[in-house]
Amino acid sequence: MRNYSDRLKAASLLRLVRVGQISARKAVLEYPRDVQDESLIAAYHALIHYEADEDIRARDALYKEEQDDYLNMIARCRDKKTSIRREENQEKNSVESRINAEYQVQINEVNNRVQKRNQSDEVFARKKNEDLEKIISQRDNKIKSELDKITIKYNEQYNHVDLSEADLKKKLSQMTFTLFENAVIVRVDEFRNNDKPQNYPIMVQSIHHLVNYRYPTRYVMASSEEDNDDEFDMIEEAKENNGFSGEIKYSVLPSENAETFSIKISSVRVYLKDSGQTLVNDSVNKVIAENVTAASDIKVESSTNETLSQGKKLQGKTQSKKKIQMIAFPKILKA
């Protein structure tokens, strides 16, 4: 009954993806869990590998939802692999117990065998031991044969999901995410008129739930001290009107143990909101966090007390308009 309901749900999700009503990522996240049907597993694998065109994906990369979707799918793959091994062990224990019980009946019959009056103790003992060894050997061979079949079956499922996880990690590591607008706070301090060169100290801070990062930098006056009045007025006006914006580009990289991730900052940019003029554009290329797990860390809403006190939250969630694309899913799934 559950298999039938799983197939109905899977078929519904696939139809929605085909007509563009939901994304492939959303379908994967809502896909039935712990399925055994090979066609359902194949469709799950197809959903994971389905992607919209590269231009749309590049625009989606600006938003944290895609990053979180990838991390959630990776965590789900890991959960699925754990579930597969757990179910494998359960089935092996069940099969081994059943076979042991079957052959125990024969073992008991041999152990309870009554010695014939015309049979010597030596012959009786030898015949009994030979029969017991034969039964035990048959039992052990049958157990091994059945367990090997189970291992092959579950290894195919495990490797299937493992391949999907590796593919997701590879795609995630090749993506660059950009934090901007309400995800980044820019604070410009007082003008350092006595510094050489004169400059404005700047603190750029991410309030993204995964990227806990503060970057100190400075805007160095482009004009000489004798000729920087216009430049000074431009910066002061932007300070009064909250006219600065920041961008932080970063990537999420699988760690060597393949169980956790590292966050690497590639660059930090500060610019004027009105004109878009770049004030700071620093290349960073620094890993700021290691041992980030896909299953837990992505659920953290904020990572610093300062962020909480600011009361800043990401806004303007954008959903890209994806093109309708046909996907070749197994026909067996049609409900």
At residue 306, the pLDDT reads 30
Structure-block tokens of residue 306: 């300062």
Contact 116, 185 (CB under 8 A): no
At residue 2, the pLDDT reads 64
Q: Report the distance separating Cα 298 and Cα 23, nearest Å.
A: 20
DSSP code of 332? G
Q: Report the distance separating Cα 125 and Cα 60, nearest Å.
A: 78
Q: Give the three-class secondary structure for 42.
A: helix
User: What residue type is assigned to position 334 of the chain?
Assistant: K
Q: Which of 81, 42, 43, 58 lies closest to 166, judged by CA?
A: 81
At residue 314, the pLDDT reads 28
At residue 158, the pLDDT reads 93
Q: Omega into 330 within 30° of 0, i.e. cis?
A: no
* Structural Rg of the chain based on CA atoms: 32
Q: Report the distance separating Cα 77 and Cα 301, nearest Å.
A: 23
Residue spans of alpha helices (H) in the chain: 2-18, 24-29, 38-49, 54-60, 64-111, 121-173, 229-240, 305-310
At residue 331, the pLDDT reads 32
Q: Give the three-class secondary structure for 179.
A: strand
At residue 49, the pLDDT reads 55
Structure-block tokens of residue 51: 């992607």
Q: Which of 147, 137, 155 lies closest to 98, judged by CA?
A: 147
Q: Give the three-class secondary structure for 286.
A: strand
Contact 56, 323 (CB under 8 A): yes
Contact 178, 62 (CB under 8 A): yes
Helix (H) or strand (E) holding 247: strand 244-254
Structure-block tokens of residue 250: 């970063």
Structure-block tokens of residue 147: 């367990």
At residue 48, the pLDDT reads 61
At residue 155, the pLDDT reads 94
At residue 50, the pLDDT reads 56
Mean pLDDT by 10 residues, the chain (335 residues): 74 78 75 72 65 39 62 84 94 96 95 92 94 96 96 93 87 86 89 93 88 93 88 94 93 73 92 92 90 47 28 31 32 32
Strand pairing report for 244-254 and 214-220: unpaired
With tokens 């224990």, the residue in question is 93
Q: Report the distance separating Cα 206 and Cα 186, nearest Å.
A: 9
At residue 290, the pLDDT reads 77
At residue 328, the pLDDT reads 35
At residue 170, the pLDDT reads 86
Q: In what order do the strands lie in the sheet with 214-220?
A: 184-188, 199-206, 214-220
